[in-house]
Amino acid sequence: MRDTTWLERLGLALRTAMACLIVSLTTLYGPKPLRHFTAFPAFSYLTTILIWLSDAEPTYGEVLKCCLDVSYATFQTIAIVLVSVLVVGPASLGNGLVAPVAVALASFIVAFPVSTSLLTKRIAFGQIVVVYVTFVVFNGEVAHVFMLPAHVAGSTALGAIASLIAVLLPFPRLAHSQMSKGCKLYAENALERLNMFVEIMMARDNTTAQVLLARAASLSAAAKNTLKNIKIHHERMVWERPDTRFLRRKQKLDPGEKLHATEFLMRGLELALGSCSSFPQGMSSDELNRLLEGPRTHIAPRSESTLKSQGNLGWHLEAGSLSTAALPVCFFRYCVELFRGDFLSLRQDSISVNRSNTEEEAHPENEGLSMARKVWDILCVWMARERFVFAFKCSISLGLAVLFGIMYNKKNGYWSGLTVAISLVSGRQATLTVANSRLQGTAMGSVYGLICCSVFQRLEEFRFLPLLPWIILAVFMRHSKVYGQPGGVTAAIAALLILGRRNYGAPTEFAIARIVEASIGLLCFVFGEILVTPARAATIARTELSHCLDALLDCIQSLVLCSEQKNQKTSVVADLRKRQAKLKSHVEALERFTAEALTEPKIPFLCPLNTVSYYKLLGSFSKISDLCLYVCDGLKNLSGVQPTLGFPWDTIAHELRAFQEKLHPTVKCLKEIALTKSQARLQKELQKRKICHDVEAGTTSNEKYSNMELGPSQDDAERFSVSFVMLLKEATDKISDNTAEEVLKSETALCLSSLGFCISRLMQETICIMTEITHTT
């Protein structure tokens, strides 16, 4: 897999170098009219690098979309420049104070629409900077005023066309083929994990099993990244085959969604094995391979065996074999049955009821919306705060960068504004880390360019040749953890501006001036980011942790309501699924902010974020999110037989209600402490609450309060498991005495067992979260 990734990146690097080579040959040795029309080769390089290095793995569809975005940005810039020239006049735009104001206003107009992509905004920002700084450089005395935006447009088009040629030669790099490779890679990964699951079940002791589980977890992380790439490439297929944009409703389930469903079940198998208390599990290798034949056939349909030839697994759950230690194995078998699709007989009624209920509930809501409410919603969307804040940030950063850049060096005043133009994003980013990476990349690329200039001092015609290995290195820098996308982009651009152009003066003077201008731009960029979004990622991560705890309480409350409904109404299950989706969204946000907080510098007097503990919390929250979905699926499967089942849900509801009542005050207490940023204030809160540990500090206070206000414990989860198993034995005996079919008996007993495991494990993970927040060092 690593060799495949290395070769893919090498191929991308060669295509990027080809695009830059096309621009170099065109601007240096092309026909004179063409060179005159593309008067800004630096912006051609900038366009090429933004198209190829802003995205991790560009394909033909993505590059084609980028070309359309570049065209839209060009038309937008031409319209803004022409209006400003007609209104203000070129002489006024040549003023060193008027031009930055014009840049700020034009940037605000470009950044405000939400429909345009980030690449469109960045290209438009860069074009605006080039045009208005050119007016300042020539003091407003431009020979052909209306040809200036045309020259900028021609230079931009050259970079886009070079990128399009590079993605097509020597053969097109299609998203469809990349997605097929990703699907094949995921299938190999999943089959390897299934084989590892067999080894885990047959492990000679717990230590060996834990080692194998750790290896399976690493494979699971690799599968997660593969699925992300598959989803990205599937979205890009629309641009390679435009006809599919109008046939989305008629299309079948795309491979990405199918693989996500497969990965969900694979995580269930891994969760079940991780919950087993002892190994081996007493199953032979042949029995395990036969058990996992269904998942293997589902993952690799071209295998020799098929689901039809397997028949039923012939496994029956007996009341005497039920115990708390057997629940993980039951859940493991339940996930296997979901792979095989053998629970369709239990699902048909619930699915039909779900569809009818959702249709009945949807119509009144749509009819109840008044025209005034629709108008108000449109106005709220139009005046959304996020759009205004982003536009204001872009306006301030670019205006100040152009102002100070012109004040320092009028001739090289472009580079401060262009540095900001390629750095702005609509969302949050690790500002200081991005600025540091961009400054290092600029310095490294400039130094490399100066060294090559001195080596090729007598061979200026071949000075562009050393660009090719540097572009390849910059692509690998773009995928590194140290420099990332900001460092790779700026390293490539810095070398291209020195080695890929002529007639810009002494290389040493230009390199020094550009590094200073880039530093000015990065300072303005950091100022704009801090001005608009002053909150640190650590602070927002603590807030998101509070939101995750609220969403967790909502899920448990919905679970209590599900257990209280004797007939398991579909609307209650749908409510649990809705709250699970809310929890998942908050967990994803917490993951993003935790990763960003990991790159933030430590600030004195502010409590740092314990990222190790937060990643443990993320693991528990993710498991709870999956378990909620399994509970929803189990309740839907049982809804068809629930009226005749006679399972004592009242007892389960009572225990869950008691668990919720214990949990609620603890969560409220921990939320207040998690939001505390100051170290001194945190100590006061801990003394006030008499909690002796905290996830942020890891400090201790009075030992006699160590068990106060900690809410539920693992004993509560164990008692629930024992109680559920006893109730399950009684229900299994009733099912065995019934005259129902044997298959229905087995499926119902297995579904109940897996449901008990999910609820019990959900309680355990909830307690682990509480313990991690209060006791982890």
CB-side neighbour CA atoms (13 Å) of 673: 28
Q: How many CB atoms lie within 10 A of CB 350?
A: 20
pLDDT tens digit sequence for 606-616: 677 788 888 99
Burial class (CB in 10 A: 0-12, 13-18, 19+), 226: buried
CA distance 674 to 670: 6
pLDDT tens digit sequence for 393-441: 999 999 999 999 999 988 899 999 999 999 988 878 888 888 999 999 9
Average model confidence (pLDDT) for the chain? 80
Say yes or no to pLDDT of 701 above 50: no
pLDDT tens digit sequence for 729-754: 776 666 555 544 566 667 777 888 88
C-alpha distances (whole Å) from 223 to each of 234, 430, 625, 643 are: 16, 26, 18, 41
Identity of the residue numbered 20: C
220 or 481: which carries more pLDDT confidence? 220
| pLDDT reported for residue 450 | 92
Say yes or no to pLDDT of 105 above 90: yes
| pLDDT reported for residue 205 | 86
Q: How many CB atoms lie within 10 A of CB 537?
A: 23
Strand partners, 678: 606
**24-33, 135-144, 416-425, 512-521: segment of lowest average pLDDT:** 135-144
pLDDT tens digit sequence for 211-223: 999 999 999 999 9
Dihedral sign for Cα atoms in the order 242, 246, 252, 253: positive
Cβ-proximal residues to 546 (8 Å cutoff; 6+ apart), any chain: 671, 674, 675
| pLDDT reported for residue 407 | 92
325 or 106: which carries more pLDDT confidence? 106
pLDDT tens digit sequence for 118-129: 999 999 999 999
Strand partners, 606: 678
pLDDT tens digit sequence for 363-394: 434 444 455 555 555 555 555 577 888 899 99
Q: What is the mean pLDDT of residues 126-155?
A: 89
CA distance 94 to 257: 55
| pLDDT reported for residue 741 | 57
